[in-house]
Amino acid sequence: MIRLVVADDQSILRSGLVALLRLESDLEVVGEAADGASTLATVAEHRPDVLLLDVQMPAGTAADGGVGPEDGIAVAQSLQEAGADGPRIIVLTTFGRAGYLRRTMEAGAQGFMVKDTPVERLVDAIRRVHQGLRVVDPELAAQSLAVGPSPLTAQETAVLQSAATGNATAQIAAALFLSVGTVRNHVSAAIGKLGVANRAEAVRTASDNGWI
């Protein structure tokens, strides 16, 4: 049996996926999670073979009161850093953005698929990943090669991620422990690298490419 944990914050979608997977004789869903913190806790408790992981999930709150990973990519990174005994990971996303593919693979995932993938292909992907193979949506793989890696530094990425939530410059500075001037410099640098006119366009371009 291949033991699975399914992590997705959309309960209806998660429940439907779990029901379909349980129809397969060689698959056993041993746990579910709806945010980053509960995903790590569920994986630690059940030690699944494969984790189906949504990209866009809330962080959640851990049992010790700490904040969980900010999204599915951060969850994958945490599991990778924890050691080689973790589950193999297939990332599922509604948004087939090339940058997400590159980031998830760098974070240690073995598979990357969009959520509208037919269930038969997903089940096949689970089996292949469990065997030690990698499974990537071929169209996204081609897009990733065309788009290339993010030109943004880690600080520029963090600033745009904070800006994407609607934070003003002063709020971004406070959240990232930076000066207002430094935040403005990072925004200016990002605008130049992305070839756009303003902060809003920089956020949109970075988001569309899956870089934030």
Domain ranges of the chain: 2-146, 154-208
Give domain 2-146's CATH superfamily: Response regulator (3.40.50.2300)
Q: Quote the CA–CA distance of 180 and 22 in Å, as a whole number.
A: 52
What pLDDT score does 31 carry? Answer: 96
Q: Which residues of the chain are modeled with pLDDT < 70?
A: 84, 95-99, 138-148
What pLDDT score does 212 carry? Answer: 82
Closest CA to 112 of 68, 33, 55, 32: 55
What pLDDT score does 141 carry? Answer: 64
**Residue 153, CA atoms < 13 Å, CB-side half-sphere:** 12
What pLDDT score does 145 carry? Answer: 58
Distances in Å between the Cα of 32 and the Cα atoms of 28, 45, 55, 81, 192 are 12, 11, 15, 22, 42
Residue with tokens 């900010």: 70
What pLDDT score does 112 carry? Answer: 87
Quickly name the fold that domain 154-208 has.
Arc Repressor Mutant, subunit A (1.10.10)
